Amino acid sequence: MTSPVANPDMTSTAIRGELRFNESMAEHNSWRAGGRAERFFIPADLDDLLVFLRTQTEANEPLLWVGLGSNLLVRDGGLSGTVICTRHRLKQMTLVGQGRVEVQAGVPCAHVAKFCAEQGWVGAEFLAGIPGTMGGALAMNAGAFGGETWDLVSRVTIANRLGHLRDRSPDDYQVGYRSVRGPENEWFMSCELALKEGDVTVSRTKIKGLLARRNETQPTNMPSCGSVFRNPEGDFSARLIEASGLKGYSIGGAQVSEKHANFIVNLGDASAADIESLLRFVQAEVMRLQGVQLVPEVKIVGCKPEEA
């Protein structure tokens, strides 16, 4: 199956998207905290993104890709290099065959779950519980309610630093729990999901139930990154954190959620330093009291103010 590959004019150097400088990253992550990006690019579409990669970036320049920013902490000292934001971009979804759905990287996971259900294909309902985009879900093998992203993936399309696209199979990656390892300097542009035929009504009901469960058990009305730590094998991070007496514990404007202990929420004025300090404190206390080393799911990037 051929993916919807872009065909940019390889001689063009003009970009059509928006390139910003000294952009506040607090506006582009779900914790609503953090420093500024040296450059921040919002592509017009996939073709424009490929032109930007080919003509407007340096070979060794740091690149950070951001969708909804739901699994990201940007330190207060900010970021060098360029952030590429696909939010509200790369948002096409297409039924490309029997049970095959092509999804671009900027599509929110919840939209993927709904689209697949409406098309009569089941298996993607759990994506409704992932508060990010498909690109981020692919990068970390995001999961919820017992399902994991790469269980559905039959093919991915990547872009490299030269602005070229290539299709890859799951065999090109080492995929584990919240972990994906593959070729360096490549980024996911889209994927093909393989689903099974099912009952639309049952699928919609399941999605509705999963969303209700998420709202009941998680602080969805407060700025957070989703789950902060991976679940240790055979246990749950939330249980370990609560058993350590840390539910509701705060540092500055950051607090371990009183609703779900594996969430750190921004009470309104948290700095990235507050959030990271609380994250490290929780790690240390759980290790001291429970003998378990918690591993963060969240990606921490940038420099501290004193390093900037």
- The three-class DSSP label of residue 20 is strand
* H or E element in which residue 145 lies: none
List of residues 6+ apart from 112 with CB closer than 8 A: 93, 101, 103, 124, 127, 134, 193
- Check 3, 30, 227, 271 and give the catalytic one: 227
Count of other CB atoms within 10 angstroms of residue 153: 22
Per-residue tokens: 287: 């290790």
Looking up tokens 């009183």, which residue turns up? 258
- Give the Å distances, CA to CA, from 284 to 73, 256, 290: 19, 14, 10
Across the strands, what pairs with 103?
Answer: 93, 191
Catalytic residue status for 242? no
Distance CA(67)–CA(169), nearest Å, equals 23
Catalytic residue status for 230? no
> Shortest CA distance to 126 belongs to which of 142, 139, 140, 138?
142
- The three-class DSSP label of residue 232 is coil
Catalytic residue status for 227? yes
Distance CA(24)–CA(100), nearest Å, equals 38
> Shortest CA distance to 178 belongs to which of 202, 149, 204, 199?
149
Looking up tokens 């921040």, which residue turns up? 40
- Check 36, 155, 178, 214 and give the catalytic one: 178
Active site members: 178, 227, 297
